Amino acid sequence: MSCVACGSSNITLAYKARDIHEKSFTHFRCQSCNTVQIEHFDSALLAYAYDTGYYGGTDTKFKWPFSTLFDLGKKLAAKHTATLINDSETDILDIGCGKGDFLEKLHGLGHSRLWGNDIEKPQQLPAYIHWLPGSFPDIQEVGQQFDLITLTHVFEHLQEPVKVISKLNDLLKPNGRILLSQPNIDSLQAEKYQNFWLHLDPPRHLHLIPPAQLKKMFAEAGFQLESEKYDSPLYNPFGYLQSWLNKRITQRDLLYEFLKKGGRIKNLKGFFQLIFSFLFAGLSFPFYFLLDRSESKKGKSGTMELVFRKK
């Protein structure tokens, strides 16, 4: 076994992490670049990982009123992303586009040449989004290049990161840009909570490559780093509080899973744990929100957003 990010064979056992169905997955850490990767990725693992209603059907992912809050968060995130897009960037591809929410927001902001890629085509994908089927980087022939490609919490789900970066390079026009966001394995919340960390999301996150190594890989493929950002009110405070709860409550991601549509509590113990989780979340959110602001300045908060330009 070798590191998917740097190729080093100097990898050691990091931890075993239980998923939401109590199944255990072994994670390894690369001693050269600090990438954490899951034991082995094969088709059986991937089938298991996406079997249990991961895509949340065709409707909103979360229960009301959390769906409203989450949509607001997503809207603000899309608005922020839109500010990064230049007027000259017209052809935009979103990899792992899900139901096309992000592209829909861009359409609302006046962008019209939009492509979306994901494994399954959602039933309600707006007609103005060009659909590209396939598991990236194995997608159907596109026949054109893009000004901007976005991967929002998607890169860590893709099996071969080196191959992914090379395909991104092929798909971009000269000077084209990549906007990539994903969990930050170098964050203080990842270090503190290890196997209990929310953003480990076993077994869907196949590898978590630290910012320094990601920058190195993109540089080697001919990209230049344009900007980096680490604060995220949508992902980071919740990452902290759910991880804190995971360490104390046996059921992994109890609160997060309950907030999803169809999320249910199994017994009385779970009910009390949920009440406790809600109370803790409400009380701790402002603290974690401020903590994220401070940690992000040092590149140590729960998620990262990197923008690369093709040279």
Whole-number Å distance between alpha carbons of 75 and 65: 15
Which residues within the stretch 8-27 sit at the binding site for Zn ion (CB under 5 A)? 8
Which residues within the stretch 120-159 sit at the binding site for Zn ion (CB under 5 A)? none
- Nearest-approach distance from CB 92 to Zn ion, in angstroms: 31
- Nearest-approach distance from CB 228 to Zn ion, in angstroms: 20
Whole-number Å distance between alpha carbons of 200 and 77: 21
From first CA to last CA, the distance across the chain in angstroms is 33
Whole-number Å distance between alpha carbons of 28 and 16: 9
157/207 with CB nearer Zn ion: 207
Q: Give the total of residues touching Zn ion (CB under 5 A).
A: 8
Maximal CA-CA distance, the chain: 58
- Nearest-approach distance from CB 10 to Zn ion, in angstroms: 8
306 binds Zn ion (CB under 5 A): no
Smallest CA-to-CA distance from 17 within 169, 196, 262 is with: 196
4/291 with CB nearer Zn ion: 4
Q: Which of 31-39, 54-62, 68-76, 87-95 is the region at the interface with Zn ion (rule: CB under 5 A)?
A: 31-39
Residue appearing with tokens 């006046």: 110
- Nearest-approach distance from CB 105 to Zn ion, in angstroms: 35
Residue appearing with tokens 């203080």: 188
4/198 with CB nearer Zn ion: 4
215 binds Zn ion (CB under 5 A): no
Bridge partners, 306 (sequence order): 180, 228
92/208 with CB nearer Zn ion: 208
11/85 with CB nearer Zn ion: 11
Per CB under 5 A, the list member of 15, 20, 26, 32 interacting with Zn ion is: 32
With b meaning 16 or more CB within 10 Å and e meaning fewer, what string describes 114-131?
A: bbbbbeeebeebeeebbe
Q: Which of 6-14, 87-95, 127-135, 177-185 is the region at the interface with Zn ion (rule: CB under 5 A)?
A: 6-14
6/139 with CB nearer Zn ion: 6
33/106 with CB nearer Zn ion: 33
30 binds Zn ion (CB under 5 A): yes
- Nearest-approach distance from CB 188 to Zn ion, in angstroms: 21
221/234 with CB nearer Zn ion: 221
Per CB under 5 A, the list member of 14, 19, 28, 33 interacting with Zn ion is: 33
How long, in residues, is the chain?
311
The packing angle between helices 211-220 and 161-171, to 10°, is: 50
Smallest CA-to-CA distance from 166 within 191, 196, 136, 186 is with: 136
Which residues within the stretch 34-63 sit at the binding site for Zn ion (CB under 5 A)? 35
Smallest CA-to-CA distance from 235 within 307, 284, 151, 301 is with: 301
Q: Which of 32-40, 131-139, 142-150, 283-291 is the region at the interface with Zn ion (rule: CB under 5 A)?
A: 32-40
Assign 67 to helix, strand or coil. Answer: helix
Whole-number Å distance between alpha carbons of 127 and 241: 39
Radius of gyration of the chain (CA): 19
Contacts (Cβ under 8 Å, ≥6 apart) of 307? 84, 177, 178, 179, 180, 225, 226, 227, 228
162 binds Zn ion (CB under 5 A): no
Which residues of the shown chain bind Zn ion in the complex (CB under 5 A)? Answer: 3, 5-6, 8, 30, 32-33, 35
